[in-house]
Amino acid sequence: MPIEVILAAGRRPVDLNNLFITHPQPGGLVERAEQTGFPRNMCAWVKGIYTVVQTEGIHTVVATTEGDCSNTRSLIEMLQMGGTGVIPFGYPYGGDEGLLDDQLQRFCRVFGATMDEAEAKRRELETVRDRAREIDRLTCETGQVTGEENHLWLIRCSDMFGDPADYARRADKFLKEARLRECVDRFPRIGFVGIPPICSGLFEFMEEQGAQVVFNEMQRQFSMPYRCKSLLEQYRRYTYPYDIFFRLEDIRQEVRRRRIDALVHYVQSFCFRYVQDCIIRERVGVPVLTLECDRPGPIDSRAMTRIEAFLEMLRGVSGAAAEGVKGRHAV
């Protein structure tokens, strides 16, 4: 969501995904939505967001009607039925610049801000976003930031705790501490692609098993990793709302730049993006482990076993290659 517009209008952005997943009982929020009538075979993120809007007394939401989630329409219909106001924002298919510009201008008008004010806010946020870029650099270049920490700091750029100055203060404190840590460079170097995981403990478990998580694809996108000259350019380069082939260009580039040995593709149960798994596997050029999860909570033993087997396989391939045997990179 272009938070620059919301901030330029003097409002505080709140990412409902963050509100849901940091709730003391996120699983209970999902169950409450099911009691209201949401089917079990629907994505738990959608159900959690629905309930959090009710429980937090939110009167109006901004909904990404194009480019994000195929379930958004039914979610906003349910919210509207309960009296919640909806402000739509749509990323045009194919990233047409004229249509995206129209959306940004319209979004400014709805919030009573001008494009100039929103651009000024974008320039102001650049120095805050630089902190996120530095946290990401310490993840992939020196290993002083863990995969979990990277995930949390980058994903939080979606609303910056509602206050960019607060984000900057907290990030400065974190960076000061992280820079004092020892550098880490372990094998295998793992990248995560796909939706941010709904389950907890995934990154820690991976790192406990000796792997190093050096890339979180979507979380990095939420941080707006490139310095741009305009809001239009920034939200055009943002890969998340556009097609999988555009995302793949970014993923392949980061696989090379970060010396990634293998990827974990996290897929959310009942998410339309699941089908992109076969394209990612086909086109990404490194081994891929696909992990699926349904509800909030710790990762289950099946996921743990699959991660262990995957890491063992990578180490086996690497060992065989070192001995001059041609390893086959397939999972």
HSE, CB side, 13 Å, CA atoms: give it for residue 262: 24
Considering the rule CB under 6 A, would residue 71 count as an interface residue with ligand SF4?
yes
Q: How far is the CB of 269 from ligand SF4 (least distance, A)?
A: 9
Q: Does 271 bind ligand SF4 (CB under 6 A)?
A: yes
Among 52, 69, 263, 303, contact with ligand SF4 (rule: CB under 6 A): 69
| Stretch touching ligand SF4 by CB under 6 A, among 26-34, 234-242, 271-279, 283-291 | 271-279
* Per-residue binder mask for ligand SF4 (CB under 6 A), 73-112, x = binder: ----------------------------------------
Q: Are 226 and 237 in contact (CB under 8 A)?
A: yes
Q: Which of 44, 76, 68 is nearest to 294 (CA)?
A: 44
45 binding ligand SF4? (CB under 6 A): yes
What burial letters (b/e) apply to 51-77, b meaning 16+ CB within 10 Å? bbbeeeeeeebbbbbebebebbeebbe
Give least dist CB 45 to ligand SF4, A: 4
Token pair of 54 as six digits = 């009710």
CA 232 to chain centre: 20
Q: How far is residue 136's CA from residue 101's CA, in Å, rounded to a whole number?
A: 29
Which CB, 43 or 108, lies closer to ligand SF4? Answer: 43
The residue within the footprint of ligand SF4, chosen from 195, 218, 262, 317 (CB under 6 A), is 195
CB of 1 to ligand SF4, least distance (A): 14
Candidate list 19, 43, 132, 262; residue touching ligand SF4; CB under 6 A? 43
Q: Which stretch binds ligand SF4 (CB under 6 A): 96-104, 243-251, 269-277, 317-325?
A: 269-277
Cβ 19 to ligand SF4 shortest distance, Å = 14
Contacts of 279 (CB under 8 A, 6+ apart): 244, 245, 248
Long-range CB pairs of 121-128 (<8 Å, 24+ gap) are 121/4, 121/5, 121/7, 121/8, 122/4, 122/228, 122/230, 122/231, 122/234, 124/164, 125/3, 125/4, 125/7, 125/160, 125/164, 126/227, 127/168, 128/160, 128/164, 128/165, 128/167, 128/168, 128/171
Selected from 18, 223, 268, 276, the binder of ligand SF4 by CB under 6 A is: 268
What's the rounded Cα separation, in Å, for the pair 68 and 279?
18
- The encoded tokens of residue 269 equal 């149960």
The least distance separating ligand SF4 from the CB of residue 42, rounded to whole angstroms, comes to 8
39 in helix, strand or coil? coil
Based on the shown chain and the rule CB under 6 A, indicate whether residue 46 belongs to the binding site for ligand SF4: yes
Smallest separation (angstroms) from ligand SF4 to the CB of 306: 20
Report the run of H or E that residue 193 belongs to, with start and end.
strand 189-194
Name the minimum Å distance from CB 72 to ligand SF4: 7
CB 314 within 8 A of CB 262: yes
**Residue 179 Cβ vs ligand SF4, minimum distance, rounded to whole Å:** 34
Nearer to ligand SF4, 69 or 284 (CB): 69
Q: Is 238 in the site for ligand SF4 (CB under 6 A)?
A: no
138 binds ligand SF4 (CB under 6 A): no
| Cα(12)–Cα(18) distance, integer angstroms | 14
Among residues 7, 224, 273, 292, which is the contact residue for ligand SF4, using CB under 6 A?
273
Binding stretches for ligand SF4 (CB under 6 A): 43, 45-46, 69, 71, 195, 268, 271-273
